[in-house]
Amino acid sequence: MPEIDITDEQAALLVQNGDKDKFGLLMDRYKARLFRYGRKFLANEDNIDDVVQDVFIKAYQNIRSFDVSQKFSPWIYRIAHNTYINAIKKISRGPIYTFDFDTIVSHPVYEDPLIKETEEVEMKKMVEKGLGTLSPNYREIVILYYTEELSYKEIADILRIPIGTVGIRLKRAKEALKKGFLEESARKEEERESTREIEKVGRESGERKK
């Protein structure tokens, strides 16, 4: 079977049965994604190479715990999530996440494909600009949804939280991003306005001198 036709799950099964080379295929498919996820999530981490390498080593060591009847991507992202959290813990003194009250009760979930499509372009722009302003738990969920394009269900499995919590956390992150984006736009508009004012005053005083 050509490698391109092999699904992630089939490749994982072959690795479980001893075909070590097929792990290279899985790494090929996930290295760029895990790098991107790591870079955005661990914004202040210098040794991103070591951390991503650690993810793949852990994935290989634990691959026999993967249930091939399930999807492979949430499984490897879960390993990445844990490894990145540990990396953040090493460099930060305080706790990474405090208790999440959104996990206590259920929240209704509705992914509207139409809204998702129209919002996506706008949100991706905001994500690029405002990601750094979000707290880690909001930042991660935004990366997984908008950058890695994973579903609510997959994100719930990666973060081990109820699906409704994914929805409510994403909603709050979007609101925070939009608020930040609007504030930034207003600040820029004010700056432009004051520049125009200065230029106008300059022109007028120049004309008077003439």
Partner 1 sequence: MNNNKTQQNTIEKNVLEKIQSGEVKMRSKTYFVLKVALLVIVALLVLVTSALLVSFMIFSLRVSGRLFLLGFGERGLMAFFVTFPWFILIADILFVILFERLLNHFKFAYRTPLVYTIGASALIIILAGFGLDRISFHETLFQEAAEHHLGPVGGLYTDIRLPPRQEGVFRGIVTSVATNISAMPPGWPAYNMGTSSMVSTNSAGPFINAFTMRRYDEDVDTDSATDTAMTWYVILPTGVSVAGFVKPGDVVLVAGDVLAASGTASGTVGGNSNGTSTGSGTIRAYGIREISAGDEQ
Contact positions vs partner 1 (CB under 8 A): 15-16, 20, 23-24, 27-28, 31-32, 35, 49, 52-53, 56-57, 60-65, 103-106, 156-157, 160-165
Nearest Cα residue to 24 out of 54, 51, 52, 60: 60
- Smallest distance from partner 1 to CB 25, Å: 10
Task: Name which of 6 and 48 has its Cβ closer to partner 1.
Answer: 48
Task: Name which of 39 and 178 has its Cβ closer to partner 1.
Answer: 39
Task: Name which of 160 and 203 has its Cβ closer to partner 1.
Answer: 160
The answer to whether the beta carbons of residues 68 and 16 sit under 8 Å apart is yes
Cα separations (Å) of 40 from 35, 71, 80, 192, 194? 9, 23, 13, 30, 34
Task: Name which of 49 and 183 has its Cβ closer to partner 1.
Answer: 49
Beta-sheet strands, E only, within 73-195: none
Nearest Cα residue to 137 out of 100, 93, 84: 100
- Smallest distance from partner 1 to CB 150, Å: 15
Task: Name which of 127 and 166 has its Cβ closer to partner 1.
Answer: 166
- Smallest distance from partner 1 to CB 196, Å: 38
- Smallest distance from partner 1 to CB 65, Å: 4
- The sign of the dihedral angle between the CA atoms of 68, 69, 73, 77 is negative
φ/ψ (deg, to 5) at 127: -60, -45
- Only one residue has tokens 């634990």, namely 62
- Smallest distance from partner 1 to CB 173, Å: 19
Task: Name which of 63 and 134 has its Cβ closer to partner 1.
Answer: 63
- Smallest distance from partner 1 to CB 191, Å: 32
CA 8 to chain centre: 21
